[in-house]
Amino acid sequence: MMGVKNGGTRKRVAPAWGRFTWPVLLTTVLLCVAAIVAAGMFPGLFPVPKPAPSIPAWQKVPDRLAGANSVLPLDAQAPVPVPAQVAKLLDATLKPDGAGSISGVVLDASTGQTLFDREANANRIPASNMKLLTAVAALKALGPETRFSTRVLSSADPSTVVLTGGGDVLLGSGASEPTAILGRAGLASLAADTAAALAAAGVAGPVTVQVDDSLFTGAPLNPGWSLEDVAAGETTPLFSLALNSGRYSPGVVTGPRPQDSAVTTAQAFAEQLAAAGVTVSPGVERGKGLPAKVLATAESATVSEQVDLMLESSDNFLAEALGRMTALASGQPGTYDAATSAVRQRLGELGIATDSMLLADVSGLALENQVSAQQFAEVVRAITSGPDPALRTALDGFPVAGLTGTLDNRYVDSGTSEGAGLVRAKTGTLNTVIALSGYVVDADGRLLVFSFIGNGLDPGAAGNKVAMDRSASVLAACGCKG
């Protein structure tokens, strides 16, 4: 019983519903019934909010980055987009901002079916999309788990040590960092091991430091490169060992670079050797050690890790080093010409036609490179869903739209943001060239690979990158099953 105090006694209070009369209750019930009947007869009068459509997991922007050693499992029964629908979308977005033209192709990754073709077989200057070719060639020739050794050898004179390059251009100046890619092998650790070996051999010093960079031969600077690009720090002469991918500091990625990375590295090693307590003679010279007398060794990051770094950061110097190592693994000399020849050879082994290709380097700086969008799409398809599992290790290197690498500051406006976190693609940029090749899972769960290449473009026209980003974004949002 409900009540309130009143002068020490309780006064009975009727429940609130009891204050309604039966006519009022009857009228209320009849009105409710009428509303239900009316809603059934005339649903438009009382619209019922529809539940928000569920978003497939692959279409959600990730809250964290995960490894991408596979883009499977996907639904094998997911519908293949209708080519006419894809063409309708891309014809509206894939337009140059001013002069020039953009070729492109979209393939269904599973079947290889062409879903969009705009001059797909036309040769184009690809810029840094060239690194995709280098990536698959390196992985195929060298193997994803291979490491490069930087060694310190003794010479005929026991007081002379020879820092010998083995293809690792990602050396660090400090201690070796086992979990790093850049700096996995460190000069401080190499020097400490060398100092211990010298002490064990009874070498008191002073010690002369030499450097052996003979693994790579031929011209250290590719004649196909613009000297302006070299001066701007896009790359530098190539040697078989280098600190920080041929830079003075790992944190400074623009501006002047060492012109002789082998000597620069040897000088840094001599400083670390002195810091380890060894008396070191001034100056560094070139020489050769005795292969049987190894004083110390430092191992690089794996080839797959180096490939990922090359793709994500679009590192020209690292790309050329991997190209030379690919040539050596293919039984050819460590020269620029041999690198392009080896890349062509390995692509042919994957069944990718190379007769029409013109390759002047393996990093993409040379304007003489000529490759088609079709060939790039086939390379991406080989990585994502081809029969060679070694190539799958390159997936982590593809920049993620709006999140990582050379795509970290793109896909941020309203026209492209729906591709953020979904599009994974290698970029390419030169003065009049923009390229984008990669893969995406569409709204129906179908894996698509694509390549867009613009040539003859107006330098600096912002709309060209937007056009490519928007085109990749509409593929991500595509439910183009007809």
Q: What does the pLDDT read at residue 76?
A: 81
Residues 238 and 180 in one domain: yes
The H-assigned helical ranges of 156-289 are: 187-200, 227-231, 261-275
Residues 45 and 62 in one domain: no
Give the Cβ contact number of residue 349 at 10 Å: 12
Q: Which two tokens stand for residue 478?
A: 């595509």
Strand blocks (E) in 358-472: 371-372, 424-430, 433-441, 447-455
- State the Cα angle at 336 between 332 and 341, rounded to 5°: 50
HEC string of 18-73 equals HHCCHHHHHHHHHHHHHHHHHHHHCHHHCCCCCCCCCCCHHHCCCCCCCCCCCCCC
Residues 193 and 262 in one domain: yes
Q: What does the pLDDT read at residue 251?
A: 87
Q: What does the pLDDT read at residue 5?
A: 35
Tens digits of residue pLDDT in 251-270: 888 889 999 999 999 999 99
Give the end of a domain, one of 11, 28, 49: 49
Is pLDDT of 348 > 60?
yes
Is pLDDT of 51 > 80?
no
Residues 101 and 37 in one domain: no
Residues 159 and 295 in one domain: yes
Looking at the DSSP assignment, which residues form a beta bridge with residue 110? none
- Domain, as residue range, for 258: 149-301
Q: What does the pLDDT read at residue 63?
A: 56
Q: What does the pLDDT read at residue 37?
A: 39
Tens digits of residue pLDDT in 421-437: 999 999 999 999 999 99
H-run or E-run covering 3: strand 3-6
Q: What does the pLDDT read at residue 225?
A: 96
Residues 296 and 414 in one domain: no
How much is the mean pLDDT over the chain? 89
Residue 71 lies in a domain: yes
- CA–CA gap between residue 275 and residue 153 (Å, rounded): 19
Tens digits of residue pLDDT in 352-408: 999 999 999 999 999 999 999 999 999 999 999 999 999 999 999 999 999 999 999
DSSP state of 221: S
Residues 298-321, mean pLDDT to the nearest whole number:
98
State the pairing for strand pair 101-108/280-286: unpaired
- State the Cα angle at 311 between 346 and 87, rounded to 5°: 85
Residue 12 lies in a domain: no
Give the end of a domain, one of 252, 274, 301: 301
The residues that are catalytic are: 128, 131, 314
**HSE (CB half, 13 Å, CA atoms) of 401?**
30
Residue 457 lies in a domain: yes
DSSP string, 385-407: HSS-GGGGGGGGGSPBTTTSGGG
Residues 81 and 177 in one domain: no
Q: What does the pLDDT read at residue 36?
A: 43
Is the bond preceding 206 in cis, omega lying within 30 degrees of 0? yes
Residue 60: pLDDT band (50, 70, 90) is: low
Residue 296 lies in a domain: yes
The residue ranking higher by pLDDT, 46 or 130, is 130
Is pLDDT of 2 > 90?
no
Q: What does the pLDDT read at residue 134?
A: 98
Residues 253 and 286 in one domain: yes
Is pLDDT of 179 > 90?
yes
Residue 308 lies in a domain: no
Give the end of a domain, one of 236, 271, 301: 301
Residues 32 and 170 in one domain: no
Residue 466 lies in a domain: yes
Residues 116 and 166 in one domain: no
Distances (CA, A) of 462 to 59, 127, 128: 27, 17, 18
Q: What does the pLDDT read at residue 61?
A: 55
The H-assigned helical ranges of 64-110 are: 83-93
Is pLDDT of 48 > 70?
no
Is pLDDT of 65 > 60?
no
Q: What does the pLDDT read at residue 177?
A: 98
Residue 92 lies in a domain: yes
- CA–CA gap between residue 425 and residue 471 (Å, rounded): 12
Q: What does the pLDDT read at residue 70?
A: 56
Residues 388 and 439 in one domain: yes
Is pLDDT of 11 > 50?
no
Q: What does the pLDDT read at residue 258?
A: 96
Residue 31 lies in a domain: yes
Q: Which two tokens stand for residue 237?
A: 């002469």
Strand blocks (E) in 140-253: 149-154, 160-164, 207-212
Q: How many domains does the chain have?
A: 3
Residues 178 and 296 in one domain: yes
